[in-house]
Structure 1
Amino acid sequence: MNDSPRPTEAPSYLARKTHRKSRLGCLECKRRRVKCDETHPACNNCTRRSTPCNYPVSNATSPRERPRKVPMWRDHIPKVAFKHNYVAQLILAFSALHLAREDRSREAVCVARSTALESAAISGMMDALSKDASSNPGALWVASMMLCFCSFGKGPQPGQYLVYSETREPEWLGLLQGVKTISETSPNAISSVIPTSDKPVAERTEPMSPEQVVPGLGKALDDLRSSVDAFRAEDPSFEKYLHPLDELRNCFGSAFERRIDSNSIKICSHMVFAWLYRLEEHYLATLQAKRPMALVILAHYLVLLSQLEGYWYIHGWVPHIMEAVKRQLHPAYQQWLQWPQSSILTSPAASAA
């Protein structure tokens, strides 16, 4: 009787020890190539090492939601990038910022490279705007979106608060205004990038009241609107605050849906960014001038933005801007920050980040 191992068998001392692979582990464990227990909000490895624990955004996205975003980034936007250098440059600039966050040893090099790419892209966009911009509205729309992401991706910077700064208006806002003008005169700008026929069937969702996610929202916005109306009765210039306030209510109202199959909450990120896109120049000017009511409205928007705090490029921005608003707001208006501050601290996204 032959007791030698069969050819297909390996000696026990060479057998590889198997374990459950961590496919949904945190970024830090993936970087260190160690097994992650996937505990939320922070895994045990990061807790033990006292290091920040962040999970990839895709892990928090249901498999049914991913196909909606994949075709645009996989199939359509790359085609636009091959035709327009400034789109490709901004995609690479954003990627470099992601690398800077992931690998701190290369942070300085990656940030410098991203800055150079963004500068070249802005020059290309300005050139396109000065020529026949109506011939490529879709490319400019994609570029404006990537500029916004790059602004977030740089992370909070001293004196920079995304929609205003200590010195001058952020450059990307001026470009955004130009792109908005083109989009308004070219209603097919987005469909030229993402053909309607190529859009996958949407997952089954139903509208969801924002009050279920952010309690007290309705009263907070109603009180703020009443205050603006009272000021407007004495000072007609307060009219300029009605549009951003109404748009904020609209964005909150469309930002949340309930997935019917899983009964989970879906955050429509495009509606979170829509408020930034819809801002008018005169309101942006009041933000840059640090007018109290403009800052109060921005503080209320931070509650909506905090729902995306789990995204790597959003992380840190909400507390950074809120601290600036608190510091720059006149004492008479400080009471208006009570609801935004308490809602940000208790929001689901903030607690899970």
Structure 2
Amino acid sequence: MHQIKSPAGSGTSDDRSSEDSSSDRQQLQTVFRISLPGKKQKTFHARRAHKKSRGGCVTCKKRRVKCDEQKPLCQKCQNKGLVCSYTPELDLAHQKKISKALGVGDPTATFFSLSFEDVLNKVETALGFDSRPIPPKLISQSSGHPMSTIAFQHFMRCSLETVANPGIREVMGSDMNPHVMYTILAVGLLHLNRVSPNKERSYAEIYFWQRAIQLYQKELSTSVRADNVDALLSSCMMMGVMTICPENFKPTDSWVLTNKPERMNWLCLQSGLRIIITLAAPYIPNSIWASSFESIHKEELKIFEREYETGRDGLDSDLADLCGIDEYTTENNSVYHNPLRILTPLLKLEKNRPNAAHCATFMGRLECDFLALCRKREVPALVILAHWLGLMCTVAEWQPWIEGRIRGECIAICMFLETSTDPLVRRLLKFPAAACGYELSTSSG
């Protein structure tokens, strides 16, 4: 009987109710981890004299319900899918970030507020260049607010916080081209829907993704130019989350266990950014992304120093043996040499937020020939991929999106390979299995 262990840190305390425990475990499997405290059992106490709270959000006040005052978004608004706004008591750090992206005034000014009108105007301005109007159905029935407003506010206040690289986080969303805005709206609702599923928002998410992809493909078909490179790069980076964060993904849905190669397309699509960057190379020096890319490049030069171009020096001996790498092996005569050279330094990095962002780049560096071997379920290729998937599970604290698919794919590979009679394969499965929380069977063959 196989068991899947709970990820580290998912244990519950004794004073929580069984309902809370179930809620907490479910949160660990969501795409993005946002604090969503459940209702706790309260001991009855006689009512005492108290002052009424004046710090609740505007939405709760309008609905005449008691606000839990959780920031940046209160629990009650998130549960209802409503636009939550604290005016003018927004945390200053959030005000500055939001004001820069929205192009509104100084957050320290007397009249600054992230009102519904501010958000709506920004969205409408960006989408004004789209010839197709947003369907009337995309209005929240519970709040009466446009889904676009709800999505944009959630993206700016919460989704951006899940981007580990500060340079990318700073620039993301600053170019409000229509396909970029639709992508932002889709990501914002994907994030919110995975945290708090809602059929009404799911329809809106599908529509926003559809328009984002249609407009993105149309723009890309006209060639990469200086005037569209910023928007193309922005959309491309955000669109990756769509395939990495499917709804209700299970290990048994993986291409590895279903023998459906097309289900590995999510991994192949991650190389799209590398292709766009290659096409956009002449324009990147003058792009809004120039500074961020330069900073990332300098950091990665230190991580991926090509000290060894030939042979197996510096590689894990077991992985090198499995891949048939000897002292004469190069990337020209072995498909596995380059992926191992990239993976090895990543496995040695200290586990922290900046390094978690570097670890995520592995999937975008994979070449077609290696991906083809993964699709065919070649054992060495799957073991290498499992080690990266396991690595991402160890940095889930800073890359919460891995709960959408990455952990499940890692479990699937472990399930597929655990029957191997090769002691080397079983030994190499120990790290990814432990990282993703899968308990390997004690028997083989």
TM-score range, shorter chain: 0.5 to 0.7
CA contact (8 A) 2:249 2:404 kept: no
TM-score, normalization: structure 2?
A: 0.50
Cα pair distance change 1:344/1:222, threshold 3 Å: farther
Say yes or no: does 1:184 pair with 2:278. Answer: yes
Aligned twin of 1:16: none
TM superposition score normalised by structure 1:
0.61
Structure 1 residue 178: deviation in Å? 4.4
> Is there any run of 5+ residues in structure 1 with no aligned partner, and where?
1-38, 201-206, 209-217, 258-264, 347-353
How many equivalent pairs are there?
A: 274
**Cα displacement (A) at 1:68:** 9.0
Is 1:193 paired with 2:288? yes
CA contact (8 A) 2:411 2:433 kept: no
For 1:219 and 1:46, the matched residues in 2 are separated by 50
The answer to whether the Cα contact below 8 Å between 2:390 and 2:431 also exists between their aligned partners in 1 is no
> Superposed, which structure 2 residues align to 1:1-353 within 5 Å?
42=12, 44-45=15-16, 49-53=20-24, 54=27, 56=34, 72-73=168-169, 76-80=171-175, 82-83=176-177, 85-104=178-197, 106=198, 108-135=199-226, 136-155=228-247, 157-158=249-250, 160-161=253-254, 166-168=260-262, 176-187=270-281, 189=284, 192-194=287-289, 196=291, 221-230=316-325, 239-253=334-348, 255-256=349-350, 265-310=352-397, 311-315=399-403, 317-329=405-417, 331=420, 332=422, 333-345=425-437
1:225-284 CA deviation, whole Å, 9 max, x = no partner?
Answer: 2331359999x997111111111123334x537xxxxxxx44523212110111111111
CA contact (8 A) 2:336 2:381 kept: yes
Greater share of helix residues, 1 or 2?
Answer: 1
Question: Once the 2 structures are TM-superposed, how far is the Cα of residue 223 of structure 1 from its aligned partner?
Answer: 1.7
Q: Which amino acid aligns with 1:148?
A: G
RMSD: 4.4
Q: Mind listing any 5+ residue stretches in structure 2 that lack a counterpart?
A: 1-8, 28-32, 36-70, 73-92, 94-160, 296-301, 304-312, 439-445
Mapped to 2, the partners of 1:190 and 1:270 lie a distance apart of 22
> For residues 269-323 of structure 1, what are the alpha-carbon distances to aligned partners after superposition, in whole Å with 9 as ceiling and x for unaligned?
3212110111111111221221211111111112221123234422263441123
Counting aligned pairs with the same residue, the percent is 19
State the alpha-carbon separation in 2 of the partners of residues 232 and 96 from structure 1.
51
Structure 2 distance, partners of 1:42, 1:229, is: 45
TM-superposition CA deviations, 1:123-160 (whole Å, max 9, x none): 33322332222433332222222122222332552565
Question: For residue 320 of structure 2, what is the amino acid of its counterpart?
Answer: R
Residues 228 and 40 (structure 1), Cα distance of their counterparts in 2 relative to 1, 3 Å cut: closer
Mark the CA change 1:238 to 1:340 in structure 2 (over 3 Å): closer, same or farther: farther
Task: Check conservation: 1:163, 1:284, Cα contact below 8 A.
Answer: no
Q: In 2, distance between residues paired with 1:68 and 1:231?
A: 36
CA distance in 2, matches of 1:46, 1:250: 43
CA drift of 1:97 comes to: 1.6
